[in-house]
Amino acid sequence: MIWSSEDVARDVVRRQGAGMSAVRVAQAAVRERETAEELRSPRLVERDVLASDPEELAEAWVARHAEWRRVQALMEASGWSVYEPERDSTGSVWAAERAVRRERALAAHAAHVERRHAAADEVQAKVWGAAGPGRLLRQAAARAGLTPSEVLAQLAGRVVVGEDCAVSVAPFIPSR
């Protein structure tokens, strides 16, 4: 699951912001400016100083700064001396939405993994047979009210592999 830079910023501020004062907002502004300057720096391009993408880094700090400003405005409007995430109704709604999206993504991933595991045990094959055996297979399928593919699936389900790797199938009558 990929979160936007705003989602990441909201999560970071919510986790790190408990007990936050206005000093944190000033620190975020300084870091945002420094990151933007690094992004424009020619030495950055020449030496590949940053391991991460500088544009992503700058975007992340812009989003964090915006979130810190929102929290600061909330604190001033509410008269709080420190930030308490559980009292932040907007932040709590966003956190709940992120948790729901995360749970859905985890459930979808688990279902995908389960389908892949189940599919790993399945074998699908296209069978090209000679006209004679093909005609006999179609006749047996028609008598049983099945398709030739269904008869072949029943045949494959009865395969026995011997110790010498010989493959055999005991005689059977296809049925629904």
3-state secondary structure of 72: helix
Residue-wise pLDDT tens digits, 99-158: 999 999 999 999 999 988 887 777 777 888 899 989 999 999 999 999 998 999 999 889
Domain extents in the chain: 5-121, 131-169
Tell me which residue of 96, 113, 83 sits closest to 7, measured CA to CA: 96
Residue type, 9: A
The residues facing 159 across adjacent strands are: 169
Q: Report, as an integer, the average pLDDT of 147-175.
A: 92
The predicted-structure confidence for 38-47, as pLDDT tens digits, reads as follows: 776 766 555 5
pTM of the full structure: 0.54
Position 43 scores a pLDDT of 61
